[in-house]
């Protein structure tokens, strides 16, 4: 970390995964805006030196924020943020320009205009690239250009940067007054068994950054991510702060345990009686097809055996987890523990997202899962932040 931390703002901040990763890269968050009170409270508790505003960003005066923070226009190093993804997502039931969430990027651009930061960072889902045949992405890049930013876009696989799950994010980076150098996007450091299931080109350019032959072949596995956490039974809560099960067994565990006083947010969700029965039949790497047909939900009894391959899945200890969603509900993904008969805890989901253990989530268990699932993996954000930092420091 440099002697003087670089300054940043985080819009649509959620629980703060993007800020957490950027802070590890050497950025200091001065201000965050988040509309959901519980998310904002988690951010506030984990980033105590930042001003956290709980409000609809459409009601926030960007110039007023800049003046209140005492920042001259052009002084801020980085404006980061992730406008809500659901309207863009390839997984959304309906993707429509009528969805008002699709236009919130204009609020982000309003802050760009007010602050004129040295660099901008926008993160979103891969579906942004194909939404409206690329029109929204074109609009964002064109708007940044009109504000004086050379911007470009890439799709980054989190597993290529040490995150133990099959998660992809679209990353837009822009630098003020200059063309964006290729080095602004981090090089993948690991090979991992992930494949894009979305549009990978834009304006004839390949967007997915793939690892080089020099990258490590040892990606982070699920067991490396959560194997040192205390075992639990389904529905077991235990102490609010628990002891670790063992000493750290790998670098990933050592990294995430830095600054931690114990294991928080580690309570096993209750499972219904029928799900407990179904779980007995599912082996590591297995899914709903392992369950006797008469025990399946009616709709899945009619499903093709080759479909919905993650549903009622039990992860393999030596593989990657599927994407952590806002609910670790076995009906929607592979969220059964590899050797314990239960689904993931919030802390296990947070570990798979690469949140450090000192990062504590507030609210109900359902709210905590939503905060973790909506977050940018901090380790991916750190890789992006280090690349941006290198570009900014090269300007000095």
Q: Are strands 201-202 and 168-176 parallel, antiparallel or unpaired?
A: unpaired
* Cα(159)–Cα(166) distance, integer angstroms: 6
* Cα(113)–Cα(171) distance, integer angstroms: 20
- Is the four-CA dihedral 115, 117, 123, 128 of positive or negative sign? positive
* Cα(290)–Cα(287) distance, integer angstroms: 6
* Cα(243)–Cα(76) distance, integer angstroms: 41
| Residue-by-residue DSSP string for 300-322 | HHTS-TTS-TTTT-B--TTSPBP
* Cα(194)–Cα(75) distance, integer angstroms: 39
User: φ and ψ at 159, to 5 degrees?
Assistant: -65, -25
**Cα 395 vs. chain centroid, distance in angstroms?**
29
DSSP assigned state of 216:
B
CA atoms within 13 A on the CB side of 31: 22
* Cα(43)–Cα(56) distance, integer angstroms: 16
Task: Provide the H-helix boundaries in the chain.
Answer: 17-24, 37-46, 62-69, 105-115, 135-146, 222-226, 251-256, 273-279, 298-301, 346-352, 365-374, 378-395
- In what helix (H) or strand (E) does residue 327 lie, and over which residues does it extend? none
What are the residues whose beta carbons fall under 8 Å from the beta carbon of 300, sequence distance 6 or more?
A: 288, 308, 311
* Cα(160)–Cα(182) distance, integer angstroms: 18
* Cα(166)–Cα(313) distance, integer angstroms: 14
Q: Which residues are catalytic?
A: 85
* DSSP three-state, residue 78: strand
Q: Are strands 168-176 and 119-124 parallel, antiparallel or unpaired?
A: antiparallel
């Amino acid at each position: 970390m440099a002697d003087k931390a670089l300054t940043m703002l985080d819009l649509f901040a959620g629980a703060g995964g993007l800020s957490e990763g950027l802070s590890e890269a050497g950025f200091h968050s001065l201000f965050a805006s988040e509309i959901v009170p519980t998310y904002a409270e988690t951010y506030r508790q984990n980033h105590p030196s930042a001003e956290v505003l709980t409000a609809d960003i459409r009601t926030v005066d960007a110039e007023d924020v800049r003046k209140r923070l005492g920042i001259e226009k052009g002084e801020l190093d980085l404006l980061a943020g992730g406008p809500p993804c659901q309207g863009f997502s390839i997984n959304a039931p309906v993707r429509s320009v009528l969805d008002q969430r699709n236009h919130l990027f204009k609020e982000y651009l309003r802050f760009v205009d007010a602050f004129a930061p040295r660099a901008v960072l926008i993160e979103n889902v891969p579906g942004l690239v194909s939404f409206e045949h690329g029109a929204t992405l074109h609009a964002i890049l064109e708007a940044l250009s009109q504000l004086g930013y050379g911007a470009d876009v890439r799709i980054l696989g989190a597993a290529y940067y040490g995150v133990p799950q099959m998660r992809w994010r679209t990353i837009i980076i822009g630098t003020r007054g200059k063309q964006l150098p290729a080095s602004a996007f981090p090089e993948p450091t690991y090979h991992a068994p992930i494949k894009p299931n979305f549009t990978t080109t834009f304006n004839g350019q390949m967007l997915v950054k793939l690892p080089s032959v020099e990258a490590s072949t040892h990606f982070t596995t699920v067991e490396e991510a959560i194997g040192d956490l205390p075992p639990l039974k389904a529905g077991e809560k235990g102490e609010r702060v628990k002891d670790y099960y063992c000493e750290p067994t790998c670098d990933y565990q050592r990294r995430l345990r830095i600054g931690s006083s114990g294991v928080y947010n580690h309570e096993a969700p209750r499972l219904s009686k029928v799900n407990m029965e179904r779980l007995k039949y599912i082996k590591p790497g297995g899914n709903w097809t392992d369950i006797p047909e008469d025990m399946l939900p009616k709709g899945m009894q009619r499903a093709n055996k080759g479909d919905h391959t993650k549903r009622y899945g039990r992860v393999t200890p030596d593989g990657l987890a599927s994407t952590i969603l806002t609910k670790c509900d076995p009906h929607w993904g592979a969220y059964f523990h590899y050797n314990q008969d239960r689904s993931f805890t919030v802390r296990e989901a947070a570990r798979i997202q690469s949140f450090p253990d000192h990062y504590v989530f507030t609210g109900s268990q359902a709210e905590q899962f939503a905060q973790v699932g909506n977050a940018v993996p901090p380790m991916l954000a750190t890789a992006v932040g280090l690349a941006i930092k290198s570009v900014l420091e090269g300007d000095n």
